[in-house]
Chains A and B, each alone.
Chain A
Amino acid sequence: MNFALSDDQVVFNDQVERFLRESVPADRLHKAFDGDEAIADAMWSGMLELGLGGLVIPEEHGGLGLGLLEAATIGERIGHAAAPGPWISHVLASLAIAQAGSEAQKARWLPGMASGEIVGTVALMEGGVWRPEEWALPAAPRLSGAKDYVMGLKEAQVIVVGLEGGRLALVEASAPGVHAATWSSTDRTRPVGRLTLDNAPAELLPETYGAQLLNAALTLVAADAQGGAARMVEDIVEYSKTRVQFDRPIASFQAVKHKLADLAARIEPNGPLYRQTAAIFDQEPEGAPLAASTAKAHITEAASDVCRIATESYGGIGYTWEHYAHIFLRRAMFNYAWLGAPAAHRARAADLAGW
């Protein structure tokens, strides 16, 4: 499976990386994290202006027509910056409409989602239930029930809702009977909440795409987790070269060196792993469920451990609110838990592998 990127894609990714470095530096990120909505909104709209909302939308609808592989590599850069905003959910909503929507639905929503004028999200979980085969909301023209841990409720105008049998439906946020309540949660860069539907008007997507949408979601979460963990390792490595104790940089102690080497070894193969998973999704979709659950379990668990150990490695400063380490730690904890924790995905992988 070749998951190397084209030269054009490498150039685009570098451009995205530069943008994120300039517009989401740690001090501004911290202000957004502490509730400065103007900064958070500016970061999010900057990403949309760059075209990051339209990655997987076909060109005829104004998007870039890229695959999940390319989108996931952008997702890694976004995770590396811990950029605020419901990018994952927006990309998933546009993927669902592009792959499973009618021509009329595509024409109605995709151009606006590509330009960023319209923000979309997906509502998949019901309580702790994330498996599409266990979604219980009946597929009907009017929906009643609740979806939980929904990202981007504040921003989204259109919501792709997961239904019984892995079906999907579109609900407009402004329609009667649609209620959104955002919770306060660990990862303040991507708040989630509950979507309550009370006889809300809905439009079914013709194709059944819930299962594949979940696989895409797991892959993007893994990519975000990998980016955040890589950032934490880069930064703690630099810090350890400058922090002096006992008259020498702490990086010169073997106890520190070996710990950092283990962190690096833990994440080094995981970039290739999520990219391979995304390439499987694009090219051999029948292998996507096993690959996606394996990658989600392996990468988000590693990222969560790595961010925890890196935070600890800062010493006292890493335990202060003032330091930004906890922004990444919290994002890693979110990635670990959202859409099924690692142990649940390992159980799914074991079933899928036929063990």
Chain B
Amino acid sequence: MLAPVVSDQEAFRKEVKDFLREHWVAVGSDRNVAEFRKAAVDRGYVYRSIPKPYGGSGQEPDAAKAQIIREEFDKVRAPRELYGNGPGLLVPTLLACGEDWQKEMFIPKTLTGEYRWAQGYSEPGAGSDLAAIRTTAVLEGDEWVINGQKVWTSDAHNAIYMFILVRTEPNAPKHQGISYLLLDMRQPGVTVRPLKQITGESHFNEIFLDNARTPKDWIVGKRGEGWTVSRTTLVHERNHVGASMGSTDLFNKAVQLARTTNMNGRPAIQDPVIRDELAKIHGMVAAHTAAGEHQLNLQKAGQEGSPSTGAFTKLYGSGISERIGLLAQKIMCEHAIAEPTENAGGPSRWVRQYMNSIAAQLGGGTSNMQRNNIAERALGLPRD
């Protein structure tokens, strides 16, 4: 009898399933995430694009395999790559622009989560116009001496390092006077003050730099090239901010809210206005998901998508989040008076979502900056 023909993809899926059964499902409550992730790196399942010497698994890009891994890991809720400023933003930048010793020193421990990073970009006077930063760094002997203020630095209260944009060439034109430095935050010249958001939570910080110091060679790229170096990071940020899977999850929760909340004496989901709005958002989510599939198809075929894919996806994600926030407010009626609370269920969760959907229009480049990107890159209209 002939052996059954199994496609390469099916064989790979079985391999991933077997790995997960042995290393995650069977281990049960004794799980150690760090050990599991190390085993997943060894097998080539996570950090696939990062070379082996830096703690990645150094695999050839393969969108089909990456999708199978994502699907199978998610099915059993196994942890994949760490997210956040370090793995998501700094590592790709170092890989593209860093010195070998910088990669060796910072990447491996960032991937395991041992080194956490803050992003020192925005300033009180430099938001959308990021190149207007005024924080300065002056070389004194073997050290940069840094003075100024950063704002909207996420995770700074947990981070031990920061990648920071500073002005090192005060006489150069705006974009050519900036350098990209790395900085140890554990020093007296660095003060972290939490920012309180409209939800009452604090996930961002203000950073005050008062003669903070960092070694001369902790610079990524050359002096005055920081703007170009930082663009690498922003490209990566926009690709992971707006993924359509988040839209789908949030939408499914909104359907659940409509099922379980009474409105005018019946479940809200039976109300024609609510049904129409749900179906409208469902169309937006379906389009966003299809656009993601299309991108995946292009990747598999080795083709480039629109130069504004990141901008489009961010507008869709934040737009859907906003529509869902407004719909939740409508469904909840008087319950929408609840105080927003982190990690709470019920109305508090949705009031928080309503408010957070405002942040979605701002963080990672405002919606109007995405429109500029689309107008200039995808449509070829004149620059501002």
Pick out which of these stretches binds chain B: A46-54, A258-266, A311-319.
Answer: A258-266
A252 contacts across to B, CB distance below 8 A: 381-382
- Give Cα A258 to B372, complex, Å: 7
Q: Which of B287, B370, B371, B379 contacts A270 (CB 8 A)?
A: B287
Inter-chain contact B312/A268, CB cutoff 8 Å: yes
**What is the bound-complex CA distance between A317 and B316, given in angstroms?**
32
Count of interface residues, chain B, beta-carbon cutoff 8 Å: 41
B279 within 8 A of A: yes
Contact A269 B290 (CB under 8 A): yes
B261 to chain A, nearest CB (A): 13
Which among B280, B294, B380, B384 is the interface contact of A271 at CB below 8 angstroms?
A: B294
Is A246 in contact with chain B by the CB < 8 A criterion?
Answer: no
Q: Nearest residue in B to A248 (C-beta to C-beta)? A: B382
Chain B residue numbers with a CB within 8 Å of A273 are: 286-287, 290-291
Q: Which residues of B contact A355 (CB under 8 A)?
A: 255, 258-259, 269, 275, 278
Contact mask for chain A residues 22-57; partner B; CB cutoff 8 A; 1 contact, 0 none = 000000000000000000000000000000000000
Q: Is A154 an interface residue (CB 8 A)?
A: no
Chain A, interface size category, equals 35 or more
A251 at the interface (CB under 8 A from B): yes
Q: B315 at the A/B interface (Cβ < 8 Å)?
A: yes
Query: Is B300 interfacial (CB-CB < 8 Å)?
Result: yes
Interface assignment of A104: CB less than 8 Å from any CB of chain B: no
Point out the residues of chain B lying under 8 angstroms from A346, CB to CB.
275-276, 279-280, 283
B328 smallest CB distance to A (angstroms)? 15
Binary CB contact string for chain A from 149 to 188 against chain B (1 if under 8 A, 0 otherwise): 0000000000000000000000000000000000000000
Residues of B within 8 A of A264 (CB): 374, 378-379
Give the nearest-CB partner of B244 in chain A.
A269
Is A308 in the interface zone, CB < 8 Å from B? no
Q: Which of A4, A254, A258, A353 is within 8 Å of B282, CB to CB?
A: A353
**Measured CA separation A346–B276 after assembly (Å):** 6
Chain A residues with CB under 8 A of B291: 268-269, 272-273
Contacts of B352-384 to chain A: CB distance below 8 A? 368, 370-372, 374-376, 378-382, 384
Distance in angstroms between the alpha carbons of A272 and B283 in the assembled complex: 12
Of all chain A residues, which has the CB nearest B368?
A258
Question: From DSSP, what is the main secondary structure of chain B's interface residues?
Answer: helix
Interface status of A347 (Cβ within 8 A of chain B): yes
Output the nearest chain B residue to A348 by Cβ-Cβ distance: B279
Contact B288 A265 (CB under 8 A): no
Q: How far, in angstroms, from A298 to B280 measured CA to CA in the complex?
A: 7
Cβ-defined contact, A251 with B276, below 8 A: no
Which residues 17-74 of B have a CB within 8 angstroms of A?
Answer: none
Is residue A349 within 8 Å, beta carbon to beta carbon, of the partner chain? yes
Q: Is the CB of B312 within 8 A of A265?
A: yes
Interfacial chain A residues near B2, Cβ < 8 Å: none
Q: Is the CB of A257 within 8 A of B378?
A: no
- The answer to whether B375 and A261 touch across the interface, beta carbons within 8 angstroms, is yes
Checking A3, A254, A298 against B283 with a beta-carbon cut-off of 8 angstroms, the contacting residue is A298
B306 proximal to A (CB < 8 A): yes
| Interface flag for A108 (CB, 8 Å) | no
Contact in complex: A350, B286 (CB < 8 Å): no
Which chain B residues in 310-353 approach chain A with CB under 8 Å?
312, 315-316
- Tell yes or no: A202 within 8 A of B by CB: no
Task: Digitize B125-160: 1 where CB-to-A-CB distance is under 8 Å, 0 elsewhere.
Answer: 000000000000000000000000000000000000
Q: In this assembly, does A128 line the interface, its C-beta being within 8 Å of a C-beta of chain B?
A: no
Shortest beta-carbon distance from A268 to chain B in Å: 5
State which of B293, B298, B316 has its C-beta within 8 Å of the C-beta of A1.
Answer: B293
Complex alpha-carbon distance, A257 and B269, angstroms: 38
Look across to chain B and name the residue whose beta carbon is closest to the beta carbon of A268. Answer: B312
Chain A residues contacting B282 (CB-CB under 8 Å) are 294, 349, 353
Q: Cα distance A254–B384 when bound, in Å? A: 8
Q: How far is the CB of A252 from chain B (nearest CB, A)?
A: 4
Question: Does B284 interact with chain A (Cβ within 8 Å)?
Answer: yes
| Residue A208 lies at the interface, judged by CB distance under 8 Å to chain B | no
Report Cα–Cα, A293/B87, bound state, in Å: 41
Q: Which single member of B279, B293, B300, B379 contacts A276 (CB below 8 Å)?
A: B293
- B interface residues, Cβ below 8 angstroms from A: 255, 258-259, 269, 272, 275-276, 278-280, 282-284, 286-288, 290-291, 293-294, 297-298, 300-301, 306, 312, 315-316, 368, 370-372, 374-376, 378-382, 384
A binding-site residues for B, Cβ under 8 Å = 1-4, 237, 240-241, 249, 251-252, 254, 256-258, 260-262, 264-265, 268-273, 275-276, 291, 294-295, 297-298, 343, 346-347, 349-350, 353, 355
- Leading 8 A-B pairs by shortest Cβ distance: A298-B283, A346-B279, A269-B291, A272-B294, A272-B290, A257-B375, A261-B371, A269-B287
A-B contact pairs, 27 of them (CB 8 A): A1-B293, A3-B297, A4-B298, A237-B381, A240-B381, A251-B381, A254-B384, A257-B372, A257-B384, A260-B379, A265-B312, A265-B315, A270-B287, A272-B287, A273-B291, A276-B290, A297-B283, A298-B283, A298-B286, A346-B276, A347-B275, A347-B276, A349-B283, A350-B278, A353-B279, A355-B259, A355-B278
